[in-house]
Amino acid sequence: MEHGKKYEFGDITWYPSKHTAVYRYDSRVPMDTPGDGINDFLGFQSNEILISKSVRASEKLFESTKSVNGECTLADTTLWYKKQIGNGLKNNGKIFTGYPVVGRQGKMQTSGSCLYSPKTRIDASCAWDPRIKGLFFYESTAIFTATKFGDFIKDVKKLRDLKPENFCGIDHYNGFLIRYIKASKAYLGQSEDSIVVDFNYYRADEASTPRLNQDVMEEVEQMAFFKYGARPHWAKNRNLAFLKVQSKYLNFNKFIAVKKQLDPENMLSSEWSDEILFGKEGVGSDGCALEGLCICSEDKHCSPSKGYFCKPGLVYSEARVCRYSPSSSNL
């Protein structure tokens, strides 16, 4: 909280498996301060297609062989590289030479250079471009009231301490990105100062394919949205994060009234948007929990044929997660 209030655009990136937190100090400076820096965030840079494919191939190999050590090596390599390049900060618009990096607001608080890569570069693309079969991942973003955030972090640490390497999959992407935001008067905005936690993790090509240590991600997800009542980012998250979301916003009914007034025939709505807005849980079909369409209550909601069964959480016992339990399949 102190860091967020002191630095207007500061944030913290927490890598649980590495017991490491990276603090970003970001301050305004006078207009005449020299500097031509930019924030070319690594995740939004254009990458050589071969590299993106290679990283994805490594992920799939580690997943299929259930190699936690492989994921941790990938996380170590990613963290080392991000440190060397300042996570994409560039002092002169070209390379990172060290801190501080000084630049104009519009170039320091935005990024996305892969959108503007030359069309002649047919060997490069955004890493997540579906045409190249590159990175494919989930993104969960939870918004906590300040009074509950600390207890959430303590619970995640308890889960981490049981087996730190199980968090390497999250750390490989970007760890937990933590930001402080001020209250908003918007109907679906935050009614009080809040903490935003964002984390990404591997997603399988096929919806029916379970993931390595997916029970850990699911427990963190359910811990955030149900135990601590975090509010979901409207443009991110899996379906289950929106369950009972209307009860988390004091002005939700006012928003619905305005929505009906401006769009009486629901031209701008769909079955999918209604599922999100009204927090409807999907039908409990086979494998529905693998994609976050439901919270498992039966083994069939996971993937029992592949050794994944519906189990209670390890720290948040009320959570129901799909855990790899090969011994259960032999019963």
Burial (CB < 10 A; 0-12, 13-18, 19+), residue 33, is exposed
Domain ranges of the chain: 1-202
pLDDT < 50 positions in the chain: 330-331
pLDDT of 100: 95
pLDDT of 169: 95
- HEC sequence for 176-221: EEEEEECCCCCCCCCCCCEEEEEEEEECCCCCCCCCCCHHHHHHHH
Average pLDDT, the chain: 92
pLDDT of 331: 45
pLDDT of 72: 97
Q: Which of 302, 305, 278, 300 is nearest to 290 (CA)?
A: 302
Asked whether 177 and 11 are in contact (CB, 8 A), the reply is yes
Give, as one character, the DSSP assignment of residue 303. B
Q: Which of 267, 4, 257 is nearest to 144 (CA)?
A: 4
Q: Which two tokens stand for residue 212?
A: 């390595």
pLDDT of 330: 44
Q: Which of 223, 226, 210, 239 is nearest to 306 (CA)?
A: 210
Indicate the pTM of the whole model. 0.93
